[in-house]
Amino acid sequence: MSVIDDPSSTVESANPANPANPATPASPATPGLFARLPRLARSPRVPRPPRPPRRPPAPPRVASEMTRGEALARSIVATFLLLVMMFVLNVTVFSHLQHLASQQRLEDDIRAQLAAGTAPVSEGTFENVLLADGAPVAIMDIPRLKFHEVVVEGTASAQTALGVGHRRDTVLPGQVGESVLMARAAAFGGPFSAIAALDPGDEITVRTGQGLQRFEVLGTRYAGDPTPPRLAQGESRLTLQTARGVPYVPTGIVYVDARLVSQVQPAGARQTNAGTLAPSDKAMATDARTVWALVFAVQFLIVVEIAGVWSFRRFGAQKTWIVFLPVAALSGFLVADQLTRLLPNLL
């Protein structure tokens, strides 16, 4: 039986007195007509429950306890990554800043010496003391490249980090004979990065204790190319050397030869000759003489790491970060700096 055919259900649903159905108000004017029509029963509207948020709240993170081995492995990996990061930063960023600071200090020194007339003209100072490695000896300019650098004595890795290095077994620029200057092509300012672009006839000037020396570029050459003819009596030549290839990935050495066009100067006394020149002063040589400093720097880094782990457990992450971040960065920088000195001196 359907709802329509059931008179009892019809009468009940149309009852205006039914409080459960407020949507069907009573109509006293036509009670008989509407009383006969069938009506569907409506359920009362129930408010919908609120929707859950789209992103449920994340469950609270539970810190996992690490074993001693896991903690040690994490410390070693963190130390290694810190070292790699500091090494890359040191070679690509800090080394250039170091070079800038060194050049400023060296230029102050050499200008004071030039003004006082005490700039070196031999391998010794005006007091007959052998020039220390890294002592300033000249100021070099290449107008076409807008190049301006202070030349220091010695060509080992530590000296080419300061600026252009003068090879100890050769005369100073402008003096009778051949003078060799070396500098880096990429790191520590990359002073000689553009010398391969010099053309024959370009000018190079070097100011030494004997005045301004002017050179004219002859040309560039690579290893295996024919060398310029031997110097005649009373002639002077300057040879520049640096690494060639992709920056930081040297594939060889490039040489730039230049001949003196100004008045030649008498050569000063030299204690070092080709036989006694230290191997670390030769082109593309590395310098392992300061490995002891690397050992101390690594020890310092390990001590900082251990102290950092202890502080992390004792005082928590916040205080440890504040205190140990600069100390860890300093120790990482010291290690990276010593590692950089082991790289070739023309890099």
Binding mask 217-256 for another protein (x = CB under 8 A): xxxxxx--xx-----------------xxxx------x--
Answer yes or no: are the C-beta atoms of 341 and 287 closer than 8 Å: yes
Number of alpha carbons in the 13 Å side-chain half-sphere of residue 179: 34
- Least Å from the CB of residue 225 to another protein: 6
Answer yes or no: are the C-beta atoms of 310 and 146 closer than 8 Å: no
The piece of 23-31, 131-139, 216-224, 307-315 that touches another protein (CB under 8 A) is 216-224
Binding mask 172-211 for another protein (x = CB under 8 A): -----------------------xxxxxxx----------
- Least Å from the CB of residue 47 to another protein: 3
The one among 20, 48, 116, 318 contacting another protein by CB under 8 A:
48
| Residue with Cβ nearer another protein (53 or 117) | 53
Answer yes or no: are the C-beta atoms of 268 and 171 closer than 8 Å: yes
| Residue with Cβ nearer another protein (81 or 223) | 223
Answer yes or no: are the C-beta atoms of 85 and 334 closer than 8 Å: no
| Residue with Cβ nearer another protein (16 or 245) | 245
- Least Å from the CB of residue 240 to another protein: 12
| Residue with Cβ nearer another protein (243 or 335) | 243
The piece of 42-50, 124-132, 165-173, 232-240 that touches another protein (CB under 8 A) is 42-50
CA-nearest of 191, 23, 189, 27 to 93 is 189
Answer yes or no: are the C-beta atoms of 148 and 253 closer than 8 Å: no
54 in contact with another protein (CB under 8 A) = yes
The single-letter DSSP state of residue 123 is S
Token code pair at residue 79: 């130390």
Dist CA 287 CA 267 (whole Å):
29
Answer yes or no: are the C-beta atoms of 243 and 178 closer than 8 Å: no
- At residue 271, φ and ψ (nearest 5 deg) are -85, -30
The piece of 75-83, 152-160, 213-221, 332-340 that touches another protein (CB under 8 A) is 213-221
The one among 53, 59, 234, 275 contacting another protein by CB under 8 A:
53
Dist CA 139 CA 134 (whole Å):
14
| Residue with Cβ nearer another protein (68 or 146) | 146
How far is residue 121 from each of residues 109, 168, 218, 267, measured CA to CA in Å?
15, 12, 25, 8
Answer yes or no: are the C-beta atoms of 232 and 177 closer than 8 Å: no
- At residue 211, φ and ψ (nearest 5 deg) are 110, -165
| Residue with Cβ nearer another protein (245 or 279) | 245
The one among 22, 51, 115, 146 contacting another protein by CB under 8 A:
51
The one among 22, 25, 47, 117 contacting another protein by CB under 8 A:
47
Binding residues vs another protein (CB under 8 A): 47-48, 50-51, 53-54, 195-201, 217-222, 225-226, 244-247, 254, 257
